[in-house]
Amino acid sequence: MARVLVVDDDAGIRESAALALEKSGHRVFRASSAAEARAILRDEDVAVVVSDIYMPGEDGIELLRAVTASRNAPPVILMTARGTIETAAIAARVGAFDYIAKPFKVRDLIERVRSAVTPKTVAEPSAVSAPDSMIVGVHESMVEMYKAITRVASLDVPVLVFGESGSGKELVAKAIHTFGKRADEPFVPINCGAIPDTLLESELFGAVRGAFTDARHDRRGALVRADRGTVFFDEVGDVSPSFQVKLLRFLQDGVVTPLGSEKSLRVNVRVIAATHRDLRALVREGRFREDLFFRLAGYEIAVPALRDRVSDIPLLVDHVRRRCEVEIARPIAGPSQAVLDVLQRHAWPGNVRELEQIVRRIVIDTGALVDADTAARVVAAMAHGAPITHAAIEPETSPLSSLEEVERRHIADVLRATGGNQSQAASILGIERNTLARKVKRFGFTADPDKEST
C-alpha cells in the first residue's frame, strides 16, 4: 500500500495509529519527535506523514514547513487535541493535506491516509503566526467547520453562516475576513435584527444632510465604510420583505445611493451574512426572497450548537479562564473536574455566549473554578434569569456563620486545587501568605484539605 511516517510524542497514540495503519497494509515508520522524523525522511522514501502538532521542541507546524519545502514533498496530515481556527488556518496556508482532531476514529485516519496517497499540490510555506484564538474546539463538527472557513476565506464568494444564537456566527465571519485577502481592510458588522427598517436603510446606505428629520450632517453608510473590506449582515433573516428588495438590488449591482442623494457610489465589498433562522423554510413560506437567498448563499457554513459538542466544554472553559486571568491580573485555579461535570450536564440554550457569562460569574463570585456547588447555583440562577444573591450562594440561618462558611470552603477548594501549596493559594486568593496561614490555623485545616473537619 503506502509508506507512512507517524510522528507523535505520545507513545500510546503513536502506536495505536501505527498498528491500525499496518493492519490496513501500510508500511509504517515511527517517530517521537520532529527531529527523529526529519532523520527518517532523509533516509526513507515516505508517501504520507501523519504528525501531531503540539510536541516538545520543534512542533508539527515547523515539521510541516520543512516537509513542504522539500523536493517531492509527501502530503502531511496533522493531528491535534487542542484545535483552534488559527491552527487550522496556518496548517492550510502552509500546505497540510488534512487536519484531524484527537481522539479520532481509526477508520477516519485510514481513509485520510488512503486519500493522501495521491499527493495534491501544496501551497508555498508561510510564516504567518496565529493571533489570540478566536474559535476553540476539537469536536469533529468544529474541525469540519475550520476546514470550510479555510477553503472559502481566500475566495470572494458571499458566505451564509447558519447557527443558533450565541454559537459564534460573528466569530466565524471575522475568521473568514481575517484569513482572506481583505484582512487589512475594514470589517463592518450590521445587526439587521436590532435596527428598524427606517434606520436600517440609512445605516447601510448612508444619508445626506436634510434627508430626514435629525439628519443634520452627511453620513457615510456601512457599505461605504466597508469598501474594499467585508460587510457582515448579522441576523439577515429578520429583515422585512421591502428591505430585502433593496438589499438584493445592492448585491446585484454593487451601487450605493445615500438617502436624499442623487449621486450613486460603486463599492467593492465582500458579503458575509448570518442567521439563526431556517432561511430555506422562510423561502418556502414566501417570507424570504429566493433570489436573495441564492445571492447570499454562495457558500454555506453551519456553526454547531454547544450541546452537540459537549466534549469541547473543558477547552472552552479553560479558554475563558485564561481571558479572565488577564482581566483580573492574577491566576485562577481550576477548572476542577467537579465543575466541568456540572457544566457538561447543562443544556446550553445560549451556547458559547452563555458558557462565557457563567464561567466569568463563577470566577467573580469565588475567584476560582473549583467549587461544584457554586457552579451549579450560578448555572441554575442564570438559566432562570434570577439574581444571584449571597443567600443564593450559601444559604444559612446565621448571616455571620454563612459568610465565614463561604470563606472556609473557598479557601479549602483553592488549597485542594493547588495541592496544599499555600504560597500559590495565597496568590490566587489575592492575600498575603501570612494572612492565609492565619486563616488555615483558624479554620483548623489539616495538611490535606480533603480531611479537614466539616
Band of the pLDDT at 210, cuts 50, 70, 90?
low
64 and 169 both lie in a single domain: no
272 and 333 both lie in a single domain: no
8 and 137 both lie in a single domain: yes
**Positive or negative torsion for Cα 291, 295, 296, 300:** positive
> 55-65: per-residue pLDDT in tens?
888 889 999 99
186 and 319 both lie in a single domain: no
- Average pLDDT on 27-38 reads 94
Q: Are 48 and 110 in contact (CB under 8 A)?
A: no
46 and 170 both lie in a single domain: no
282 and 335 both lie in a single domain: no
Number of domains in the chain: 3
| Domain that includes residue 442, residue range | 307-451
Q: Choose one of 76, 111, 145: the last residue of a domain.
A: 145
- Average pLDDT on 108-126 reads 63
Q: Please provide the average confidence, as pLDDT, over all residues in the chain.
A: 83
133 and 265 both lie in a single domain: no
Give Cα separations from 266 to 141, 177, 217, 251, 379 (angstroms).
39, 21, 21, 11, 49
> 298-348: per-residue pLDDT in tens?
999 999 999 999 999 999 998 999 888 888 878 888 898 989 999 999 999
265 and 285 both lie in a single domain: yes
User: Which CATH number characterizes residue 78's domain?
Assistant: 3.40.50.2300
> 340-373: per-residue pLDDT in tens?
999 999 999 999 999 999 999 998 888 889 888 8
The most distant pair of C-alpha atoms in the chain lies apart, rounded to whole Å, by 81
253 and 336 both lie in a single domain: no
* Pairwise CA distance, residues 433 & 416, whole Å: 16
Q: Helix %, strand %, coil % for the chain, to 5?
A: 50, 15, 35
287 and 356 both lie in a single domain: no
130 and 47 both lie in a single domain: yes
Nearest to 171 by CA among 274, 271, 98: 274
* Pairwise CA distance, residues 194 & 199, whole Å: 10
320 and 295 both lie in a single domain: no
Q: Choose one of 113, 145, 177: the last residue of a domain.
A: 145
C-alpha cell at 344: 457538561
* Pairwise CA distance, residues 168 & 448, whole Å: 42
Q: Choose one of 119, 145, 171: the last residue of a domain.
A: 145
* Pairwise CA distance, residues 354 & 338, whole Å: 19
User: Which CATH number characterizes residue 333's domain?
Assistant: 1.10.8.60
User: Which CATH number characterizes residue 167's domain?
Assistant: 3.40.50.300
**b/e per residue 393-413 (b: at least 16 CB within 10 A):** bbeeeeeeebeeebebbbbbb
The whole-model pTM stands at 0.65
Pairing state of beta strands 3-7 and 48-52? parallel
Highest mean pLDDT (candidates 83-87, 99-103, 205-209, 222-226): 222-226
